[in-house]
Amino acid sequence: MSRLELIATATFGLEALVAKEVRELGYSEVKVENGKVTFSADEKAICRSNFWLRTADRVRLKVGEFKAVTFEELFEKVKALPWPEIIPAEAAFPVEGKSVKSGLFSVSDCQAITKKAVVESMKKKYKKQWFEEKGSLYKIEVALLDDTATLTIDTSGPGLHKRGYRELAGSYAPLRENLAAALVILARWYPDLLLVDPFCGSGTIPIEAALIGQNIAPGINREFASESWPTIPKKVWENARQETRELADYGRPLEIIGTDIDNKMLKLARSNASKAQVDKVIHFQRLSLSELSSKKKYGKIICNPPYGERLGELQKVEELYREIGSIFKKLDTWSFYILTSHPQFEKLFGSKATKKRKLYNGNIKVDYYQYFGPKPSRRKKTDSTVS
């Protein structure tokens, strides 16, 4: 593989952040669309983008794109794409699909036709009638939108939000890691400023902040589907992984505090931080919201409090939002960043946000309420303990 076209998929509302990250990796040919960021690069970009993209969902290799209004047209155009140049004879190549606003609306039929077309293309090249598919995974996606078919191969494997440090506690479903990273980036937090999450739960926001603060690649401790592809030399992966180690600044001091009233969740947060190798720079403590205070003049609070989505919880959550407004106002030179789905949050909090950004937390529509405090002056470090 030489010059490639890659697609970094993104949750709605995060496309601009993903594009910024792609450009920061040095890739300038970037196109931003709903749910995806397309860019041109070499094979090394598959490795580097998987390691470094904090806010993307996954990285796909684009094989082709064309109009298709009949199944025959879909078959012939898929078959004409250079599959054997990418996929080895022994590889596994399952097909998944989706269709939005297209005449070819049957996803199962689109998947079956795409699979048949790829097999026919492979037969011609490899002179085989049967493929055992026991080798490396090349998961193909056929995605139709407005009668345009885009054919890609997933390079990531499990979604990029799965950094490898987090274990779930029973049915508890915390904030996804890539959304937590996005909240920190959107808050424009910098490493020598105190960051507090008073609803830290399993610690995702503090941990993602620590990874950002010490420039630790989010994918440094995990593997990717394309690592086993024989089409990408192992040396390319080794060099990309070595880059993540060389650029990490493990010794950089940070001021990050996560508090919660649930000891079980705090224990999990400490375990997760340890797995992410940032436990030395995050202080987790049991603290009720009413006890939150600080001697620091400046700081940022970034949090994802309960939404009250379950029946019977809404009244308690609304009382909590009023308390949040009352407590946070005491830190009148701080900045606050709060994610919630409640449409009346500003009224309950007691003031209108400086800025509001629409996002999605899973399938839940949420707003990111941003309250900007005064710009901190440069100062000497002091004790960062919340008390």
pLDDT band of 383, cuts 50, 70, 90: very low
Average model confidence (pLDDT) for the chain?
A: 94
pLDDT at res. 386: 52
Residue 382 confidence (pLDDT) above 60: no
Cα separation, 236 vs 229, whole angstroms: 11
| Range 38-44 average pLDDT | 96
Instruction: Please spell the DSSP secondary structure of 295-308, one letter per residue.
Output: S-S--EEEE-----
| Range 31-37 average pLDDT | 96
| Range 21-28 average pLDDT | 96
Q: Is 277 left (phi over 0), alpha (psi -120 to 50) or beta?
A: left
Give 126-179 pLDDT, tens digit per residue: 999 999 999 999 999 999 999 999 999 999 999 999 999 987 654 445 799 999
pLDDT at res. 152: 98
Cα separation, 364 vs 104, whole angstroms: 28
pLDDT band of 376, cuts 50, 70, 90: confident
Distances (CA, A) of 101 to 56, 104, 144, 147, 252: 24, 9, 8, 7, 49
Distances (CA, A) of 52 to 8, 35, 118, 180: 12, 19, 31, 15
pLDDT at res. 334: 98
State how beta strands 4-9 and 36-41 pair: antiparallel
Give 49-77 pLDDT, tens digit per residue: 999 999 999 999 999 999 999 999 999 99
Give 251-279 pLDDT, tens digit per residue: 999 999 999 999 999 999 999 999 999 99
Neighbours of 331 (CB within 10 A): 20
Please give the structure tokens belonging to residue 56: 């993307």
Q: Provide the percentage of residues in the chain whose pLDDT is more than 70.
A: 95
Let me know: does 63 contact 86? Beta carbons within 8 Å: yes
Distances (CA, A) of 108 to 7, 68, 93: 23, 16, 16
pLDDT at res. 167: 73
- Radius of gyration, CA atoms only, the chain: 23
Q: Which residues sit opposite 99 in a β-bridge? A: 144
Q: What's this model's pTM, rounded to 2 decimal places?
A: 0.93
Please give the structure tokens belonging to residue 21: 């990250």
pLDDT band of 381, cuts 50, 70, 90: very low
Cα separation, 368 vs 303, whole angstroms: 10
Q: Which residues sit opposite 360 in a β-bridge? A: 365
pLDDT at res. 224: 98
Q: Which domains does the chain carry?
A: 4-154 (3.30.2130.30), 177-214+249-371 (3.40.50.150)
pLDDT at res. 308: 84
Sequence-distant (≥ 6) Cβ neighbours of residue 224 within 8 angstroms: 47, 50, 155, 156, 157
Q: Which helix (H) or strand (E) holds 88?
A: none
Please give the structure tokens belonging to residue 221: 């401790």
pLDDT band of 312, cuts 50, 70, 90: confident
Query: Helix, strand, or coil here: 321?
Result: helix
Give 87-108 pLDDT, tens digit per residue: 999 999 999 999 999 999 999 9
Distances (CA, A) of 195 to 116, 201, 203: 53, 15, 13
pLDDT at res. 347: 98
Give 318-372 pLDDT, tens digit per residue: 999 999 999 999 999 999 999 999 999 999 999 999 999 999 999 999 999 999 9
